[in-house]
Amino acid sequence: MARIRLMKHLVFLVLTLSAHAHPWEKTFKFHPHWQPAGDVVAADKNLATIEGEELKIFTNAADPKKSGYLQTTEQFGDCTVETEFMISKGSNSGIYLMGRYEIQILDSHGKDKVGYGDMGGVYQRVDGNRKPPGFDGHAPATNAAKPAGEWQSMIIKFRAPRLDADGKLLEKPLFLSVVLNGQTVQTNVTLNGHTNSAQRKGWATKDHIFIQGDHGPIAFRKFKVTPENFPKPE
């Protein structure tokens, strides 16, 4: 009987360790093509992972083409997102607040002129009935992108839509600010609808944050979301 009790204890211990193998499991829902790593370094157009006892990094580097969209475990409305990330040469990604409103991540270092599709841009909306179909994109105020292969930081302050009890829109969502590598690149940008490639549509007060993973390698060493209650800007 003592042996059976010991075996049960060992099984429980293994399952517990497996369930809490890395802190990223509390932040993101499981995705088979996003994995933790000890560290990561740029390798031309790829990112090479390095093993380590402490799994500090979360990345799609093993197979970016199959990595799809990574999703937070929790839903957020008003929030501050603080993140540190690395992309490889030519890589392309994005952070979708509420699954709808994208701040672009792109290898934009060195460009003289940047647009909505560059690092720190608010990506455009698309309507097939319009000519041209793309509209409402917001370029970053300055090109603050670092070279691919370096760690970069971004702080996003987002104010969610305000709806009445029947779901009618009262106030549109806002990117209050986006700070990229210490420089403010967006300020009080009103969002009139979801941006292109959104994972969600329609108005809501809370939803998951998504990260685009199938356009190129990206790695995160920090992704912190703090719920907020931002007042309406004057």
* Residues 69-126 pLDDT 10s: 999 999 999 999 999 999 999 999 999 999 999 999 999 999 999 999 999 999 998 8
Give the CATH number, domain containing residue 104.
Answer: 2.60.120.560
The vertex-165 CA angle with 161 and 168, nearest 5°, equals: 50
Residue 120 within any structural domain of the chain: yes
Find all residues with CB under 8 Å of 3, minimum gap 6, and list them.
none
CA–chain centroid gap for 210, Å, is 5
Spatial contact of 139 and 156, defined as CB atoms under 8 Å apart: no
- The predicted structure's pLDDT at residue 181: 98
Taking the model in full, what pTM does it have? 0.88
pLDDT band (50, 70, 90) for residue 175: very high
**Structural domain of 75:** 24-227
Tell me the two tokens of residue 88.
């490889």
Average pLDDT over the chain reads 88
Instruction: Give the chain's largest Cα–Cα span.
Output: 77
- What pLDDT does residue 64 have? 82
Under the banding of pLDDT at 50, 70 and 90, the label for residue 8 is: very low
199-209 pLDDT, tens digit per residue, is 999 999 999 99
- pLDDT recorded at residue 24: 85
User: Residue 31 pLDDT > 80, yes or no?
Assistant: yes
Q: Is residue 7 part of a domain?
A: no
Q: 132, 135, 112, 100: which is closest to 208 by C-alpha?
A: 100
- 4 in any annotated domain: no
Say if 186 falls within a structural domain.
yes
10: in domain:
no
Looking at the structure of the chain, the number of domains it has is 1
List CB contacts of 186: < 8 A, sequence separation 6 or more.
103, 120, 122, 138, 140, 141, 175, 177, 178
- 105 occurs within a structural domain: yes
The answer to the question of residue 16 being in a domain is no
pLDDT beyond 90 at 140: yes
Tell whether the model's pLDDT for residue 180 goes beyond 90. yes
pLDDT for res 22: 60
Q: Who contacts 19 (Cβ-Cβ below 8 Å, separation ≥6)?
A: 25
Distance CA 216, CA 80 (A): 25
> Quick one: pLDDT band at residue 128, thresholds 50, 70, 90?
confident
Which 8-state DSSP code applies to residue 52?
-
Tell me what the mean pLDDT of segment 147-155 comes to.
97
The amino acid at 35:
Q
Mapped onto helix, strand or coil, the DSSP state of residue 55 is coil
In whole angstroms, what is the distance from residue 211 CA to residue 152 CA? 16
Q: Which of 5-9, 28-32, 101-105, 214-218 has the highest mean pLDDT?
A: 101-105
| Domain contains 156 | yes
What's the mean pLDDT in 29-47? 90
13 pLDDT above the threshold of 50: no
Q: Is residue 162's pLDDT more than 80?
A: yes
Rounded (to 5) percent helix, strand, coil in the chain: 10, 40, 50
Tokens for 85?
């990330």
What does the alpha-carbon distance between residue 200 and residue 69 come to, in Å, rounded to a whole number?
12
Mapped onto helix, strand or coil, the DSSP state of residue 18 is: helix
pLDDT, mean of residues 140-168: 97
